[in-house]
Amino acid sequence: MSKDIEHNPTSDGEVSPQRRASISATEKSRWERLWPVIACGAGLFSDGYLNNIIGPVNTMLSKIYPDSYTKSSAQANVSSITFAGTVLGMLFFGYTSDHFSRKWSLFASTIIILVFAALGSGAYGAGGSPTGLLAALVAYRFFLGIGIGGEYPAGSVGCAEGTGELKAGSRNKWFILFTNVQIDLAFFISAIVATVVVVITGENHLRVAWRVCLGIGILPPLSLLYLRIKLQEPEAFKRESLANAKTPWLLIIKFYWYRLMLVSIIWFIYDFSAYSFGIYATSILSNLLGDSAPLWKSLAWNILINFFYMPGCLAGAFVADLPSMGPKKTLCIGVALQGIVGFIMAGCYPYLNKPENVAGFVVVYGIFLALGEFGPGDNIGLIASKTCATGIRGQYYGIAAAMGKIGAFSGSYALDSIQKAAGDDVIAAGRNPFFVASSLAFLAAGLVLLLPHIGQDTIDQEDVQFREYLTSHGYDTSKMGLDGISVSDVSIEGTETKGEKTGL
């Protein structure tokens, strides 16, 4: 970030010209302003379901193939390979969503998710061998990850831009409700699905159970397909797109590198903890309950663990819109409290590790996860989407989110390695991951303090400041925007947006 450029909101309190430029010539109804936010953001339900369901599936495959799965790299590969595909998808669709189309990038990612979710649930190995089956499952989940990756730089970015038409004071809430809350709701639903499926099929038919669990993941993207066909490009994208202009890469890097680095590191730390702990929650409970406990029992306890995501993310959605808090403070407080609870959990682990104390373990662990959602879970994507200009938002968001998924990918291997390094010391194997995660949480809290203030109109102020910065360095901004659309084409009369006048 250039040191001579300020990224703070306007000091005079006036609504920026860019925000006034978002006023359409005709009034939209409440539903017309809200449904694009839903259509763009709710696809992250697929991300949450397909990533979290692999935890129970991981446990099922371990029971079906105890030698070829558990005692090889297959377990770690199946659990985490989706993250590798997601990183590729984020970077690819981040570019296409900025340089071609938000709408069609999002539609393409939906199709990819549908195809490979279906193939993954029906994975068959060569000659019916476990090795071939697991290799096929790994391959399908990699390509599935590419589709999931598109949901971030195309879907979440479109969702953030859509909230600009909603009422000031509620924009952060609506963004969070249809992005991170969708992921966490999917976590909760996937835990219920896994338990119900295993109870119905019985533990003697886990080969059917794991396929059904994965196959249900087809339904969320299928339900959004029609809405996404009907989507239009966001107004901000029509106005600020660099699709028809030469991208000033050096100026972009100079202006945003520092901020992007901070957001990326915070996201890396959050996903390192959130996804890796989520994937192994079922295994942790299975070990805690003992080998003699039926699988359905550990899956049922897992429902309660995943339930704790919901109060955390819902509380964070409303707190992030409070004038006295905002996304930055909410993130900082949430991640700091998570670090404190993590250290408490590590210190008390010898007591929590006893089977008779499984309820206490689940409650404390649930609070640990809830605080992660209250802070970084809800707000890191919000901050990533609102701290850069519209013209490069897809790539900026995609890079930051990709760093998060690299954290998740690293965390799934790191957690496994930390547990194995403890050898026969069961206490150390369970406690050490919490020491690592909690230390990283305090690091993230410190980095959050270096981020700029995020207000209700930050997106539009960023667009104004970015244009001014480009102009001051000799870049011709007249070609920004899609064909036939520019700032001067839109009326800027008045000082209230449509969202502020009516609705939401």
Count of alpha carbons within 13 angstroms of residue 141, beta-carbon side: 30
pLDDT at position 400 over 90:
yes
User: How confident is the model over 204-217, as pLDDT tens digits?
Assistant: 888 899 999 999 99
Q: How confident is the model at residue 312 (pLDDT cuts 50, 70, 90)?
A: very high
What type of residue is 330?
A: T
Q: What distance in Å separates the CA atoms of residue 319 and residue 40, rounded to the nearest whole number? A: 23
CATH of residue 157's domain is 1.20.1250.20
pLDDT of residue 24: 45
Angle between helical axes of 295-307 and 309-319 (0-180°, round to 10): 10
Q: Assess contact for 42 and 180: CB atoms under 8 A.
A: no
Asked if residue 376 is part of any domain, the answer here is: yes
CB contact burial 83-93 (16+ within 10 A = b; e otherwise): bbbbbbbbbbb
Give the pLDDT score at 212. 93
Whether 15 shows a pLDDT value over 50: the answer reads: no
Q: Which domain holds residue 39?
A: 18-486
Per-residue pLDDT band for 132 (boundaries 50, 70, 90) equals confident
In a domain, 258, yes or no: yes
pLDDT tier for residue 405 given thresholds of 50, 70 and 90: confident
pLDDT confidence of 488, banded at 50, 70, 90? Answer: very low
- Mind spelling out the 3-state secondary structure of 117-146? HHHHHCCCCHHHCHHHHHHHHHHHHHHHHH
The answer to whether residues 387 and 458 touch, using CB atoms and an 8 Å cutoff, is yes
Position 235 scores a pLDDT of 83
DSSP assignment letter at 392: G
- Across the range 186-201, mean pLDDT stands at 93
Q: Is the pLDDT of residue 91 over 80?
A: yes
Comparing 30-44, 77-91, 100-114, 184-198, which segment has the lowest mean pLDDT? 30-44
pLDDT-derived band of residue 460, with 50, 70 and 90 as boundaries? confident
pLDDT tens per residue across span 329-346: 999 999 999 989 888 888
The predicted structure's pLDDT at residue 127: 53
Nearest residue to 55 (alpha-carbon basis) of 365, 375, 240, 295: 295
* Structural domain contains residue 62: yes
Chain-centre distance of CA 31, in angstroms?
A: 25
62-76, 237-251, 404-418, 427-441 — which is least confidently predicted?
A: 62-76
Round to whole Å and give the CA distance between 157 and 178. 12
Q: What is the pLDDT of residue 483?
A: 65
Q: Tell me what percent of the residues of the chain surpass a pLDDT of 70.
A: 84
- For 312, list phi and psi in degrees, rounded to 5: -65, -50
Tokens found for residue 162: 């859509």
What's the pLDDT score for residue 22? 45
Give SS3 for 280. Answer: helix
The pLDDT value recorded for residue 88 is 93
Please, are residues 208 and 201 in contact by the beta-carbon 8 Å criterion? yes
Asked which of 133-142, 190-199, 309-318, 389-398 is least confident by mean pLDDT, the reply is 133-142
For residue 70, is pLDDT > 90? no
pLDDT reading at 498 higher than 50: no
pLDDT, greater one: 33 or 188: 188
The helix (H) or strand (E) run that includes residue 162 is: helix 157-162
pLDDT of residue 8: 45
Q: Which residue has the higher pLDDT, 363 or 328?
A: 328
* Within-domain flag for 267: yes
0.85 exceeded by pTM: no
CA separation for the pair 444, 373 (Å, rounded): 14
- Establish if 298 belongs to a structural domain: yes
Query: Would you say residue 225 has pLDDT above 90?
Result: no
When pLDDT is cut at 50, 70 and 90, the band that residue 496 belongs to is: very low
CB-based contact 95:152 (threshold 8 Å): no
245 CB contacts (<8 Å, ≥6 apart)? Answer: 476, 477, 479, 480
Residue with more model confidence, 315 or 230: 315
Question: Is position 494 within any domain?
Answer: no
Q: Is residue 352, in this structure, part of any structural domain at all?
A: yes
Residues for the chain: how many in total?
504
Whether residue 148 contacts residue 26, with contact meaning beta carbons closer than 8 Å, is answered with no
User: pLDDT band at residue 20, thresholds of 50, 70 and 90?
Assistant: very low
Count of domains forming the chain: 1
Residue 501 belongs to some domain of the structure? no
Stronger pLDDT, 381 or 23, i.e. the higher one: 381
Distances (CA, A) of 452 to 76, 168, 495: 37, 19, 25
pLDDT averaged over every residue in the chain: 81
